[in-house]
Chain A
Amino acid sequence: MENAIIIVVGADKPGIVAGIASKLAENNANIIDISQTVVRGIFAMIMVVDISKCKVSLAELRKQLQEKGKELGVEVQAYHEEVFRYIERV
């Protein structure tokens, strides 16, 4: 399994989860976990996504998600799980 972590930040409104999830499904990226939190008063959604069978590279997936994010009025970032493993775990 190869995971990416996707972070969606912005004002809350209906359709954000559906929009991002459908874009992931289109690319065959499988959502493993979703949680929501509030960062400095701003809505933030965190997804852990299995990209081992993803049709496109993570760079391309990130681009597509960010375009979708623009439509939805939210900021989307996608990082490889290794970034978190290196920074947060010894």
Chain B
Amino acid sequence: MRYSADEIIEVYRMLREEELDIRSVTLSINTLFALAGNLESTIKRLETLNQTLEKFSYAVDEVSGKYGIRVVTRRVAVSPIQFFLESLSEEEGIEIAKFLDKLAEIHKIDYISGYSAFADRGFTKGALKTLKTFAKALNTTRRLTGMINAASTIAGMNMEAIKLYVNEIFNMPPTSSSRASIMANVPPDSPFVPSAHHGLGMPEATINIAVSGPGVIESAIRRSKPKTLEELHDVIKRAAFKVTRLGELIGKRVAEKMGINFTTVDLSLAPSPTVGDSVAGIIEAMGIEKMGGHGSLAALAILMDAVKKGGAMATSAVGGLSSTFIPVSEDSVMIERALEGYIDFYTLIALSAVCNSGIDMVGVSKSQGMDKVIGLISDVLALGITLNKILGARIIPVDSPPGSYVDLGGLLGKVVVMKLKDVDVSGFISHAGYMPSTIKRLELG
């Protein structure tokens, strides 16, 4: 098959200059075979993961080497710890956390995800123990991540879970809280940490892929200078198709090497703190001078739709969150605009209506208190329920005042501390219990 010089140079540019890479290859693996009712047997059974993880690491190296494609992170998602803690104690949960963390370190896995529980309608013993040990588990590990699904369109929203969660993240340093999230409608096949986990209904093991590529989309827009919104949509759609195809290729090949199912490509654009790898950069290339300005939501809606349409043609295996991510600290332009004041919490909530990011990687000042953070999270999750979409919040409580930032380095970037509104919400959040599922529930059957 012949390729024109233009085609070859286009691919070269995407990979070399526009930061196109595979954000993550995630091995999602069932670990419920290790449920044993006592810690010793559980750990012994989990030790069999050593072989699989070694094979996984080798497969990623092989495929990345063969194709010359950078794989930024390799991740493992395991069955939610909640199941283990139904019968084990809180202390034993911490031991499993440490074991998983060690396993990840040995096999050069960047993140191992699954210190997670589902508590959208209420708590089982396991879910409650998971939540109560959240800070301790993440504070004593480095690569473990966890999530609490505290709301769903089907079940409603558990306010008690949000309160407990916020209490936990207030006891974490930023290096831990950046590995924790609270979600609504979490999917069972997401390659994105912190919310990845091996969900129910999945086969024994699967490979899920997350591609990056905001730089490719931004360059395509800047080069083609579209005159109409239709042209703009088309340019993004074509670029998203190409980005997604790369994910499909790498995912299939890694899965083949491991002899397991290739499950999904997340149709997403995920930024990194590298300059030229920014989702906000795309919005600005679309003609909004500063991300956060009026029109940003419309621009993001066009971007999201075009990415999904382009991606849908490129892979039949759509999954995960399939969205544009705007984790503030991980996007060089978002960081700047947040520091300049163009982006605040309400802008992020509004943007969440058209993408699945929610409020991601944003700092709050501990001095403003927990109540406002609980209120903020309930806003995000309520939006998720009402719009019947996946949304999450990854909030980083810090000691610094609003307007400052904390540099976490690497892919995590600079966490900007945003001001919460100085409004007392204690009356609302002091209500116990849960928010009933909305009328949407009836439409779902």
- Residues of A near any B CB (own CB < 8 A): 5, 7, 9, 33, 35, 37, 39, 44, 46, 48, 57-59, 62, 77-90
Contact = CB atoms under 8 A, between A and B. Distances in A.
B248 interface: yes
B67 A79 contact: yes
A58 B66 contact: yes
A16 to B, nearest CB: 17
Contact of B249 (A39, A46, A62, A82): A82
A56 B221 CA distance: 40
B5 A58 contact: no
B245 interface: yes
A79 B1 contact: no
Contact of B65 (A44, A58, A77): A58
Interface string B1-37: 1110101111111111000000000000000000000
Q: Lowest 3 CB-CB distances: which A-B pairs, in order?
A: A59-B65, A86-B249, A86-B245
B69 interface: yes
25 contacts: A5-B3, A7-B9, A9-B12, A33-B2, A35-B5, A39-B9, A39-B13, A46-B8, A46-B9, A58-B65, A62-B65, A77-B15, A79-B15, A79-B68, A79-B69, A80-B68, A81-B1, A83-B67, A83-B69, A84-B3, A84-B8, A87-B11, A87-B245, A88-B11, A89-B1
Contacts of A88: 3, 7, 10-11, 242
B68 A87 contact: no
A86 B250 CA distance: 10
A43 B155 CA distance: 61
Given A58-B67, A59-B65, A83-B68, 11 more contacts: A33-B2, A39-B9, A39-B13, A48-B3, A78-B68, A79-B68, A80-B66, A84-B8, A85-B1, A86-B248, A88-B3
Contacts of A57: 65-66
Contacts of A48: 3
Interface in B48-101: 65-69
B246 interface: yes
A62 B68 contact: yes
A48 B12 CA distance: 14
B5 A83 contact: no
B66 A59 contact: yes
Nearest to B242: A87
Contacts of B3: 5, 48, 84, 88
A83 B8 contact: no
Contacts of B1: 81, 85, 89
B245 A7 contact: no
Contacts of B69: 79, 83
A34 to B, nearest CB: 11
